[in-house]
Amino acid sequence: MVNRSNSESSEIHFKDHIIHYVIISCGAFIQGIAMAIFLFPHSIPSGGAAGIAVLLNYWFNIPISFALWFVNFSLIILAIYWLGNTSTAGTIFGITITSITVQIFSADIFLHYSNIWADLLLGSCMLGIGIGILLRQQVSNGGIGVIALIFATYRDFSPGTTLLLFNGLIFIVTGSIIHFIIVFQAIFVQFISTGIINVVYNLKTIPSITPILSWRKK
């Protein structure tokens, strides 16, 4: 009887992990689509880490998908002290899915460079949905999102607003190097996506499945 109970518990735990990673994949994919099709073609950083990736692409012609993965992975390593094993693995998994999505949908066969403001509006909404889904799974979208999720978890701050504040400085640096209009466009993206993130993060209808011991306090 005990063995059967343990077996059922393990099966439920396994199913929770599968659902957890499926949801992460969905959020990461939506985020990647927003970046590749709507934001990056206009050199608009979707966040702090993406801003650094855009600069690396601008300076060294590094493929933006690889630059995005490298920057995010490096920041995750710096923040790993604050993350449990499951959240760290989920974040790296999400970053990888996003980077692969960006690589695939950056190809010329996909529509790019349409009306910039329409792109920014659609990209902002999709970005907010993708990041909101990730944050609900206690998984960061990478980079500055790690800091935002830490603040949301330990200080009860709004993750979307925290992202907006931390990303602002990087946007200014990126815009001053490439073109300053990017600052205003990036802030527009963040303003719209911040509202979407906060709505999705607080929704009761989207499943929020976080494996046990995914976070640990400092």
- Chain CA centroid to CA 64, Å: 15
| Size of the chain, expressed as the number of residues it contains | 218
User: Token pair of 155, please?
Assistant: 């200080």
Q: Higher model confidence: residue 186 or residue 97? A: 97
Distance between CA atoms of 120 and 57, rounded to whole angstroms? 20
Q: What is the pLDDT of residues 59-93, one digit of tens each?
A: 888 887 788 778 877 777 766 766 556 667 888 89
CB 167 within 8 A of CB 116: no
Residue 169 reports pLDDT greater than 50 = yes
User: Token pair of 158, please?
Assistant: 């709004």
Q: What is the pLDDT of residues 126-142, one digit of tens each?
A: 999 999 999 888 887 76
| Enclosing H/E stretch for 154 | helix 144-154
Q: Left, alpha or beta for 143 (phi > 0: left; psi -120 to 50: alpha)?
A: left
Q: What is the pLDDT of residues 17-45, one digit of tens each?
A: 899 999 999 999 999 999 888 888 887 77
Q: Higher model confidence: residue 214 or residue 118? A: 118
